Amino acid sequence: MAEISQNPVQKRRGLIESLDIDMRLVGMIGALVLISLAFNLATGGAYLSPRNIFNLTIQTVSVAIMATGMVFVIVTRNIDLSVGALLAICSAMMAMTQARWLPGMLGLELGSPLIAPLTVVVGLVTGTLIGAMNGWLVGYQLIPAFIVTLGGFLIWRFAGWYLTSGQTIAPLDQTFLLFGGAEGTLGETWSWILGLALSLVALWAIWSARRSKLAHDFPVKPLGAELALAGMAVAAILGFVAILNAYAIPKGKLRRLFEAQGMELPEGYSAGHGLPYSVLILILVAVVMTVIARRTRLGRYIFATGGNPDAAELSGINTRLLTVKVFALMGFLCGLSAVVASARLQSHANDIGTLDELRVIAAAVIGGTALAGGSGTIYGAILGALIMQSLASGMGMVGVDSPLQNIVVGAVLVFAVWIDIQYRKRWGKT
């Protein structure tokens, strides 16, 4: 051991390498900044207004949640074309649960506090079960994932159609609508508290990783670099909270809120939205999925199986069961996305989540997930979703025709993957 610790691994390393910065992350953030600045210029500052950033954020949540699951699916060399259809059936099940079954059959009163939680459970269970079934067909019956989920793509949306007789179902439960975005936010104070808490968690994570490396005599980044990274993380978290807090709740809505409590809106009173619950869900999903990917056996086996399925099998990993778990997780996340998406739209319509499968796959791929399997990151997929939503919403604001919008997004997808291939070739990174 002694002679190892005297051997600091590679003394002379480049600055970037010693900071251990992920160039792909830098590239994606750079692209996002560039897109934002360009649209901001084109819209005379409207694009980067708190209001638009707020809207952009809540529009991204549904696809971003599913994209994190798609990373695992693609890393294990599979694909899931059925996520949009799964979202639709979950949404249909939840709409029927809250608007018909619970009030009608079980006799729960409309507005009962039990409706929202039961509805969410129904959605999550539906998604998980269908996902697990997909995984079983792929893992144990050896039907290619492409076929299983292409079938699911055709089946589930239209199963939902039969469930609702093709009707759009609205209004939805008031508590349920809180998951949609603008209707349910933490408010300024709690947003700051949460922002500070998240900052502390980030600092703790950085600090404990460093402590563990030092305990084993491993090389660590220069302290200054570590502090700079920690500072950037905290600034990003608190800056984001500040922007969401700066988007004031409209006067008319405030008045209604006060009236609902039997009070009158005080003169000159104003309040910011703060962090929407839906974004909170996405943050939670991002953290949990990252922990699964990096710090659990499940995550390790997912990546090992993607890198070399035979080796994983020979190492005693049950790759079939693993496939079921990965697809079940994907289904669970589809159910979660369905909660957010249908609450945001305040209704269930049969076309909910149409084309989401392609957006989700594109987000994961733009985020650096390789279709060959074995590599991909959760934060990459979320950034990928954000980049795509930024493009779509920016072009909408600038007034680009919708056909051209699709053409641009398509071209960006191909371009992003091309860049990634060049990067891998040049740096040999996987």
Partner 1 sequence: MTTPLVEMRDISIAFGGVHAVDHVSVDLFPGEVVGLLGHNGAGKSTLIKILSGAYRADSGEIRINGEKAEISNPRDARAYKIETIYQTLALADNLDAASNLFLGRELVTPFGMVDDDAMEAETRKIMARLNPNFRKFNVPVSALSGGQRQSVAIARAVYFDAKILIMDEPTAALGPHETQMVAELIQQLKAQGIGIFLISHDIHDVMKLCDRASVMKNGKLVGTVNVEDVTDDDLLGMIILGKPPAGTA
Residue 247 vs 301, nearer CB to partner 1: 301
Decide if residue 45 touches partner 1 (CB under 8 A).
no
Q: How far apart are CA 215 and CA 241, in angstroms?
A: 35
State which of positions 107-136 bind partner 1 (CB under 8 A): none
Q: Is 291 in the site for partner 1 (CB under 8 A)?
A: yes
428 binds partner 1 (CB under 8 A): yes
Total residues binding partner 1 (CB under 8 A): 37
Stretch that binds partner 1, among 110-118, 127-135, 272-280, 302-310 (CB under 8 A): 302-310
Which one among 279, 317, 349, 416 touches partner 1, defined by CB under 8 A?
317
Quick check: 16 binds partner 1 (CB under 8 A)? no
Indicate the residue among 272 and 306 with the shorter CB distance to partner 1.
Answer: 306
50 binds partner 1 (CB under 8 A): no
Residue 324 near partner 1 by CB under 8 A: no
Q: Which range, of 37-45, 224-232, 289-297, 354-362, touches partner 1 by CB under 8 A? A: 289-297
* CA gap 250, 12 in Å, rounded: 57
Least CB distance to partner 1 at residue 173 (A): 37
Nearest residue (CB) to partner 1, 127 versus 306? 306
Among 13, 213, 251, 256, binds partner 1 (CB under 8 A): 213
Q: Which of 215, 260 has the CB closer to partner 1? A: 215
Q: Give min distance, CB of 4 to partner 1, in A.
A: 5
* Binding-site string for partner 1 from residue 214 to residue 243, where x marks contact by CB under 8 A and - marks none: -xx-x-------------------------
List the one residue from 212, 346, 406, 422 that touches partner 1 (CB under 8 A): 212
CB of 314 to partner 1, least distance (A): 5
Reading the block at residue 60, the tokens are 């991204």
Distances (CA, A) of 112 to 36, 115, 181, 277: 43, 6, 21, 20
Q: Which tokens go with 231?
A: 């500072």
> Among residues 255 and 300, whose Cβ is nearest to partner 1?
300
425 binds partner 1 (CB under 8 A): no
Buried (b) or exposed (e) across 93-121, using 16+ Cβ within 10 A? bbbbbbbebbbeeeebeeebeebbebbbe
- Considering beta carbons, is residue 47 or 301 the nearer one to partner 1? 301
Segment contacting partner 1 (CB under 8 A): 120-128, 172-180, 212-220, 361-369?
212-220
Question: Any contact of residue 311 with partner 1 (CB under 8 A)?
Answer: yes
CA dist 85 and 24 (Å) reads 31
Residue 13 interacts with partner 1 (CB under 8 A): yes or no: no
- Give contact residues for partner 1 (rule: CB under 8 A): 1, 3-4, 7, 9-10, 212-213, 215-216, 218, 291, 294-297, 299-301, 303-308, 310-317, 374-375, 428, 430
